[in-house]
Structure 1
């Protein structure tokens, strides 16, 4: 098979799969509720005891308070990512808070928060 034909088939196949995923709604970013946030946190950290859940107004991030300390859960497409807030830095960003983890697996995340949420989240993330 000529290379040009094979390349066209591969590109067409990948584009077709992407289009099917998008049309079926699988490319939408996950929206969290308190119950979903608890379930997702337990999926990532099954041994943690959850004390409280604070959702961002857009529903794409949740600040989790556990018996071992705070943690952050955020939507990454249709899935979620969770990290304990043990070794991190944060900066104010015009759209919310930018959190830098000292972890190459998830180096940073921008949590979109309004000014009221930003103050509340900073207060909850402060060490005891």
Structure 2
């Protein structure tokens, strides 16, 4: 098979797969719609934790999770989620929310958008549990 034809088939096939996945909805960003979704995603990462409470961010892309091992943060990364315990995190306030510096090479930090009232609630929960 001539190389130009092979390249056209490979590039066309990859493009067709990408378009099909997008049209089927597999490229949608994850949103935490309710408490059950937050608990499900946290349990994927930390199945042995007992969750006592969850608090979703204003944009629905992250959530504060209170567990028997201390507070944690779960957030959307595209169509999937990731979670991190906040035991050694440095938390600072920004103009639009809170900045979590996780001291982890794999997940260095995250800025969560929060309204002032939600930010105050999160700070209260974090200060109380930490």
Structure 1 SS opposite 2:63? strand
Structure 1 SS opposite 2:60? coil
- 1:86 Cα deviation after fit: 1.1
Over aligned residue pairs, what C-alpha RMSD do you find?
A: 2.0
- 1:81 Cα deviation after fit: 0.4
**1:39, 1:12 → 2: CA distance?**
37
**1:73, 1:57 → 2: CA distance?**
14
- 1:2 Cα deviation after fit: 4.8
TM-score by length of structure 1 reads 0.85
Q: How many residues align?
A: 128
**1:94, 1:9 → 2: CA distance?**
50
Structure 2 residues without counterparts, runs of 5 or longer: none
Cα 1:8–1:91 shift into 2, 3 Å: farther
TM-score by length of structure 2 reads 0.83
